[in-house]
Amino acid sequence: MNQTELSYFVVLVIVILLSQFAPTKLLMLLDHLVIRMALVLLLLYLMRVGPTAGIFGLMAIAILYLERNRRKIAEALLKIDKMDSAYTLHHPQATVEEASQPQKTVPVIPFDVPESFETDFLPTEASDSAFFEPVAETINQKAVLSTIYPSGSPSASESLYEKLGFGHVDGVTTLGSQ
């Protein structure tokens, strides 16, 4: 640590230790763009002075922002509590006895009543499933449809290859052929 860094070190340690005692208005100034740019320039200057000054400068700026955020959250919690207490003052909650009473302020339309007729749940002619129309006799007589390829015998592929000229060589007999 240089002699020049020592003075920056002392000042920045004091800023770090006293940041929690800084006034809230002063910490809220950190939200302004001009102050943010000034802090970035200050950090760049401290890095130029030396590494110790730069590190402690970064720590001081970070702690100032942490303290600012802590104060903002504390103020927001107070505002939420005030809003909640103001709402409950103007809109008190009902007790259990009051909540169980029927509501009289809003007109309630009665429910629709279904028509009173009875339906027999017995099969009728339209829903009769006992009637069976016989199917044609040929339904179980399925056969392979003819195609361009012979497919009825075990040697169908061999005969196809022979017709195309791929499966037979003149003068050579294959095993299994007659």
Rounded to two decimals, what is the model's pTM? 0.48
**Is 32 a residue whose pLDDT tops 60?**
yes
Distance CA 141, CA 143 (A): 7
pLDDT mean over 16-31: 93
Q: Report which of 81, 61, 75, 50 is spatially closest to residue 12, judged by C-alpha positions.
A: 61
Task: Give one DSSP letter per residue of 73-97, joined into a string.
Answer: HHHHHHHHHHHHHHHHHHSPPP-HH
Q: Between residues 73 and 150, which one has the greater pLDDT?
A: 73
pLDDT per residue over 123-133, tens digit each? 666 666 666 67
Mean pLDDT for all residues in the chain: 81
